[in-house]
Amino acid sequence: MKDHLKNRLKRTVILSLVAVVIGGGIGFFQAKDPKSRVVEKPSRLEPMAGIQVGGPFELIDENGQTVSDKDFSDVYKLIYFGFASCPAICPTELQKIAGTMKALPEEQADKVQPLFITIDPARDTVEVMHDYVALFYPRLKGLTGSQEQIDRVLKSYRVYASKVQDEGMSDYTMDHSSFIYLMSPDDRLLSMYRIQDTAEKMAQDVQARLTAQP
Ligand code: NI
């Protein structure tokens, strides 16, 4: 591995950890009711009460079709934000989503739609997304859109994403936070998985969450 890639990887990991700390401190644990700041620690099988991410979106899928949150209102979602030319973290996390899907019992896997949403719509065109998601899992959908559409969905999921141009690199790269979100059909956050969570652990948690739902 080349040094600049190593440094990049190191920096992405550090930034992700910083995002966890900052996100944990200010963003993710804000109560839905602004008057109530105290959020109980969620028990293992309860939704992450009080943590508000998600919301309406309109994007374009890997076949060029316009899709919105309404198209996914009858399924659970495993959502990851990244970019197709990411050297290390994004492919690893998408492989974990694929591993999770394959580890689920079939009747549960059928109820889960994995989604990859780009943070880099300028380069991640419909064609790029089409070829990229196919590398990981047949049912993985790849969503892109205009910069405005992407900015809106990044904000509602509290995703950190920033362009970086390093010396000696011909093109820019992106620094970004790295979480996999498990969302319920009605758009509640059920779990968030981090870089250190394995596909096996995720599959166990998804199974438990789906079993616990009415
Ligand atoms: Ni990445």
The pTM score is 0.78
What is the predicted pLDDT for the residue at 190?
A: 94
What is the predicted pLDDT for the residue at 169?
A: 81
Compute the distance from residue 92 Cα to the ligand 1 centre, in Å: 9
Compute the distance from residue 38 Cα to the ligand 1 centre, in Å: 33
- Given a contact cutoff of 8 angstroms between Cβ atoms, the answer to whether 189 and 197 are in contact is no
Compute the distance from residue 110 Cα to the ligand 1 centre, in Å: 27
Compute the distance from residue 37 Cα to the ligand 1 centre, in Å: 32
Compute the distance from residue 107 Cα to the ligand 1 centre, in Å: 30
Compute the distance from residue 199 Cα to the ligand 1 centre, in Å: 17
Token pair 């990049």: residue: 8
Compute the distance from residue 116 Cα to the ligand 1 centre, in Å: 11
Compute the distance from residue 13 Cα to the ligand 1 centre, in Å: 10
Which one, of 58, 89, 67, 21, lies nearest residue 156 by Cα?
A: 58
For the chain, the 3-state helix, strand and coil shares in percent, each to the nearest 5, are 35, 20, 45
Compute the distance from residue 86 Cα to the ligand 1 centre, in Å: 5
pLDDT digits 0-9 by tens, 127-158: 999 999 999 999 999 999 999 999 999 999 99
22/46 Cα distance (integer angstroms): 23
Compute the distance from residue 193 Cα to the ligand 1 centre, in Å: 15
What is the predicted pLDDT for the residue at 88?
A: 86
pLDDT tens, position by position, for the chain (214 residues)?
A: 445 555 555 555 555 544 444 444 434 433 333 333 343 444 444 556 667 899 999 999 999 999 999 999 999 999 999 999 998 899 999 999 999 999 999 999 999 999 999 999 999 999 999 999 999 999 999 999 999 999 999 999 999 999 998 888 888 999 999 999 999 999 999 999 999 999 999 999 999 999 987 6
Compute the distance from residue 118 Cα to the ligand 1 centre, in Å: 10
Across the strands, what pairs with 176? 161
Compute the distance from residue 119 Cα to the ligand 1 centre, in Å: 9
Give the environment of ion ligand 1: residues with CB less than 5 A: 82, 86, 89-90
Compute the distance from residue 33 Cα to the ligand 1 centre, in Å: 33
Plot region of 55 (φ>0 → left; ψ -120 to 50 → alpha; else → beta): left
